[in-house]
């Protein structure tokens, strides 16, 4: 991991196994399958549900500062806790939870390379027992939506900038407009298919190996550079609802050290449903 721009944000399974009883470390499991945690999780890990814990149920936005403070306090997380995220699907939702934590400025946030898949492949222990921790005191600043989050009008402006780049991390079928969601999922959530003008299609999972660990820095640099995504550009990533693109945001920001990367969490669900917004739809079937 020493080759990455910020190797400190990644830990391996051995590192985690050695710290299962460390009170300074809190493991957080965040999965696409919200029932997966109950079937077995790393001992001591708490669950953060991306639907009920991280999102506001009314405003189509994230939880506010007060709710974030209550959530972390209830999980036994304080401001100086080392929070290590892991999950299913190549750490897809773990990266999303990591991104939300960074919106509130949590300092020591990391991801377990390889996620659930690697932990289980190595026959490491799982438990169905829910941990219980004393409530902590957590104080967060107001959510910072400026530096790592992009909004609709900023994306629209991005289309015409020479020093900017858009990365569409969805599947090729979503990018062309053949589908409105990944092939194995219900086709829902948007009226129109296609992609934002000027966006390059680099599916998010191309950044990981077969064992769910991240590819080397050299491999990642080649993947993005050959598509014109370089560190001198202001980059915005997007997908359907902002979760897959948070994974690519993590790769570009922490593994490759790009200085300006934002995640457009409104993504195609917002863009594809708006009246009058420009799209490209190569697929006409």
Total residues belonging to the chain: 285
Q: Which of 42, 63, 239, 261 is catalytic?
A: 239
> CB neighbours of 132 closer than 8 A, spacing ≥ 6?
none
Q: Quote the CA–CA distance of 71 and 47 in Å, as a whole number.
A: 11
CA dihedral 197, 199, 203, 209 (to 10 degrees): 170
Sheet of 46-47: strand order equals 10-11, 109-112, 82-86, 25-29, 46-47
Neighbours of 226 (CB within 10 A): 10
Q: For this structure, is 239 an active site residue?
A: yes
Smallest Cα–Cα separation from 86: which of 46, 55, 59, 51? 46
Strands 200-201 and 164-168: parallel
Q: Quote the CA–CA distance of 120 and 236 in Å, as a whole number.
A: 34
- Cβ–Cβ under 8 Å, residues 187 and 274: no
Q: Quote the CA–CA distance of 270 and 76 in Å, as a whole number.
A: 35
71: tokens are: 């959530």
What residues act catalytically?
239
């Amino acid at each position: 991991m020493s080759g990455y721009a910020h190797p400190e944000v990644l830990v391996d399974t051995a590192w985690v196994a050695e710290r299962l009883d460390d009170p300074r470390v809190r493991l957080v499991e965040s999965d696409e399958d919200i029932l997966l945690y109950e079937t077995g999780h790393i001992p001591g890990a708490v669950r953060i549900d991306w639907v009920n814990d991280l999102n506001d149920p009314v405003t189509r936005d994230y939880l506010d500062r007060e709710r974030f403070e209550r959530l972390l306090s209830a999980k036994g997380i304080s401001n100086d806790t080392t929070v290590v995220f892991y999950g299913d699907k190549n750490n897809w939702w773990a990266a999303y939870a990591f991104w939300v934590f960074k919106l509130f400025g949590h300092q020591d946030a990391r991801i377990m390379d390889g996620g659930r898949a690697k932990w289980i492949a190595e026959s490491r222990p799982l438990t169905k027992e829910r941990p219980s921790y004393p409530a902590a005191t957590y104080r967060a600043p107001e959510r910072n939506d400026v530096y790592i989050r992009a909004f609709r009008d900023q994306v629209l402006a991005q289309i015409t900038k020479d020093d900017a780049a858009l990365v569409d991390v969805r599947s090729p079928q979503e990018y062309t407009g053949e589908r409105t969601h990944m092939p194995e999922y219900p086709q829902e959530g948007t009226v129109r298919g296609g992609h934002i003008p000027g966006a390059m299609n680099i599916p998010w999972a191309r950044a990981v190996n077969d064992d769910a660990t991240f590819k080397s820095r050299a491999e990642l640099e080649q993947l993005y550079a050959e598509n014109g995504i370089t560190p001198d550009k202001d980059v915005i990533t997007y997908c359907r609802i902002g979760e897959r693109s948070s994974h690519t945001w993590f790769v570009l920001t922490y593994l490759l050290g790009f200085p300006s990367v934002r995640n457009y969490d409104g993504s195609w669900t917002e863009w594809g449903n708006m009246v009058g917004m420009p799209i490209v739809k190569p697929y006409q079937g």
